[in-house]
Amino acid sequence: MTNCLFCKIAKKVIPSDIVYEDDHVLAFSDINPQAPQHKLIIPKKHIASLNELTSEDTLLVGQVIQTAKQLATQLGMSEGYRLVSNCGSLAGQSVFHLHFHLLGGRALHWPPG
């Protein structure tokens, strides 16, 4: 997707603070952190949101979530963190390239609102 912000970040057209990368997955710091640790984990493949997932993406989503777990451990958050994907504008999704927020480093409240 040529005009997608996170595709541009994945292709390094737009710089970001990359904390993990492999052939299929990228993780980088959120530009507007909502917690002491706030990373975004994305598939490099353009998928607009959870709603656009197909059965072909099952392994890829697993890799994204495994990356989140590894990052949480590396960042010293295995005691508690949150992994969340906002799906659709009503849920607050503002970038329509599938991403998971990894949040931690402080006590997190529930429900998030």
Question: Does residue 8 bind Zn ion (CB under 5 A)?
Answer: no
Residues that bind ligand 5GP (CB under 6 A): 5, 16, 28-32, 40, 86, 92-95
Q: What is the nearest approach in angstroms of Zn ion to the Cβ of residue 3?
A: 9
Question: Does residue 24 bind Zn ion (CB under 5 A)?
Answer: no
Alpha-carbon Rg for the chain in angstroms: 13
Compute CA distances 101 → 2, 24, 41, 55, 56, whole Å: 23, 17, 7, 22, 22
Residue 99 falls in the annotated catalytic set: yes
Q: Which of 82, 97, 99, 101: binder of Zn ion (CB under 5 A)?
A: 97
Joined tokens for residue 30: 């959120």
Half-sphere CA count of 91, side-chain side, radius 13 A = 11
Residue 7 touches which of ligand 5GP, Zn ion, none (CB < 5 to 8 A by kind)? Zn ion
Residues noted as catalytic: 99
